[in-house]
């Protein structure tokens, strides 16, 4: 019988653990772990996402520092704010919500964040530390995906993992995490020959390409763990399905063969914010020299 991996439940349990540990941190160090979230402009999706982050940060017994800037904010002004947050002892984590307006270089902004406060795990230093197997702050979505995999399979040693997608946000970091867990990893992408056959060899299949229902049911190895990172809204032309959210995997087809699979929505998505809170707590502990 296929296990539907409940990302909401796993994320809720993680947030509860973080809140408990945050209370202990506050009791010992006299202040709450602090997360600063910066939003430039008024993109509707980003505003909703930032609102959720602020609310869940407070529910996790942490301090939330919200900075909403107008769309016309200059790159120099945004970088100045980031530097101010770098120097603020009450701020343990900094997240600049992406995308930023087109006149701002997001790469410059990411590199301006103190790596010790880079709770999105996107700074080149943190990417390098992940590659080298050193302690650092890992990107939230891959970290959450790994926790979901481990919720159904603790030991990944020797398993064949196929990651579809090579982005710096998900594909590359989760491949490094899977390697660190002793899986044998194959990275697939748009130039991969015979992608269906590659997927059929996977004990663990991670789909992170942003193509609605790319992975069909007959691409799945019986009993495989399928992690669907994609979140796509179908266009109005899809008739009865218009506006429906789907992943990169054809869920109804794939769940027939998969041993465990994440749904969309309700799978990887909730884990991203939960891991952001965990990263903030980790950053706070490291800044005061504490261990987990």
Q: Where are the domains of the chain?
A: 30-114, 140-270
Q: Model pTM?
A: 0.93
**Mean pLDDT of the region 152-156:** 97
Note the pLDDT of residue 44. 84
What CATH architecture is 30-114? 3-Layer(aba) Sandwich (3.40)
Note the pLDDT of residue 193. 95
The tens digit of pLDDT for each residue in 170-180 reads 999 999 999 99
**Measured between alpha carbons, how far is 179 from 157 in angstroms, rounded to an integer?**
9
Average pLDDT of the chain is: 95
Query: Which amino acids are annotated catalytic?
Result: 53, 97, 120
The tens digit of pLDDT for each residue in 46-71 reads 888 899 999 999 999 999 999 999 99
The tens digit of pLDDT for each residue in 240-265 reads 565 688 999 999 999 999 999 999 99
DSSP for 253-285 reads: HHTTT-SEE--SSSSSHHHHHHHHHHHHHHHHH
What CATH architecture is 140-270? 3-Layer(aba) Sandwich (3.40)
**Measured between alpha carbons, how far is 246 from 232 in angstroms, rounded to an integer?**
5
């Amino acid at each position: 019988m296929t296990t539907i991996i409940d990302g909401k439940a796993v994320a809720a349990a993680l947030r509860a653990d973080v809140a408990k540990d945050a209370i202990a941190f506050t009791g010992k160090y006299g202040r709450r772990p602090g997360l600063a979230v910066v939003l430039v402009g008024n993109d509707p999706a980003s505003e909703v996402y930032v609102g959720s982050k602020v609310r869940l940060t407070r529910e996790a017994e942490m301090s939330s520092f919200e900075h909403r800037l107008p769309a016309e904010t200059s790159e120099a002004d945004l970088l100045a704010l980031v530097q101010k947050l770098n120097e603020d002892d009450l701020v343990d984590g900094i997240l600049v919500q992406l995308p930023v307006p087109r006149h701002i270089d997001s790469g410059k902004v990411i590199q301006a964040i103190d790596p010790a406060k880079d709770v999105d795990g996107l700074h080149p230093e943190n990417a390098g530390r992940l590659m080298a197997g050193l302690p650092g702050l890992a990107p939230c979505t891959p970290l959450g995906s790994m926790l979901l995999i481990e919720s159904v399979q603790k030991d990944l040693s020797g398993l064949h993992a196929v990651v579809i997608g090579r982005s710096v946000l998900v594909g590359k970091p989760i491949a490094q995490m899977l390697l660190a867990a002793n899986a044998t990893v194959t990275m697939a992408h748009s130039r991969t020959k015979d992608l269906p056959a590659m997927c059929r060899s996977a004990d663990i299949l991670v789909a992170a390409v942003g193509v609605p229902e790319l992975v069909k049911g007959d691409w799945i190895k019986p009993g495989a763990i399928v992690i669907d990172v994609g979140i796509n809204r179908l266009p109005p032309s899809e008739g009865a399905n218009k506006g429906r959210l789907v992943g990169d995997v054809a869920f109804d087809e794939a769940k027939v063969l998969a041993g465990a699979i994440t749904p969309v929505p309700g799978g990887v998505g909730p884990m991203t914010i939960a891991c952001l809170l965990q990263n903030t707590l980790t950053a706070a502990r490291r800044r005061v020299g504490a261990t987990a």
